[in-house]
Amino acid sequence: MRALALFLAFLSVAAGAAWAVESAAGRKDPARAITSQLICPCSCGEILSGCICETGVAMNAYVAKELKAGKTKEVIEASLVTKYGEVILGAPKAKGFNLLVWVLPFLATAIGLSTAWVILRRWVRRKDELVAVDPAGGPGSSAEADLTVLRARAEAELRRLQE
């Protein structure tokens, strides 16, 4: 348990450090902050900030040029989306039909967990019902009668097979 707590603490510190480095890099290089959230539209499929193909280099230069011209991140992204389509966005915008991409995974998870919970509760109830068939457990109980019937049937089948 202690190891799990230490591991989770380490992960949170590492995530915080990565976020701090990324935000500092975004403040130092606003072009990288934009291009790290876009995907190159060519067949390489790389994140634009790390893409070295002709299209990626041209798009990186375009972003840098537009930033120097004083345009905002939203304006630059909108112009790139107009030119290349929403394919270049790292994640679809949460509006309209694209909202399903954001909602359905959580909905499916909730439905799956609910279904599993219901099934497990039924299994536990059945197990409890089987255990509680005859709390006295004495002779003449229904479980005892069932067992006697099954034994008689098994013995009859054995006799038939031996003949």
Q: Can you list the domains of the chain with their CATH numbers? A: 2-90 (1.10.8), 100-162 (no CATH)
**What gap in Å lies between CA 70 and CA 27, rounded to an integer?**
15
pLDDT in tens, 90-144: 777 777 787 888 889 999 999 999 999 999 999 888 877 666 555 555 555 677 8
pLDDT in tens, 3-26: 556 656 666 765 565 555 455 444
The CA-atom distances, in angstroms, between 70 and each of 38, 63, 67 are: 20, 11, 5
Torsion angle, CA of 94/100/105/108, rounded to 10 degrees? 150
Mean pLDDT of the chain: 79
More confident residue, 79 or 44: 79
pLDDT at 25: 45
pLDDT at 109: 96
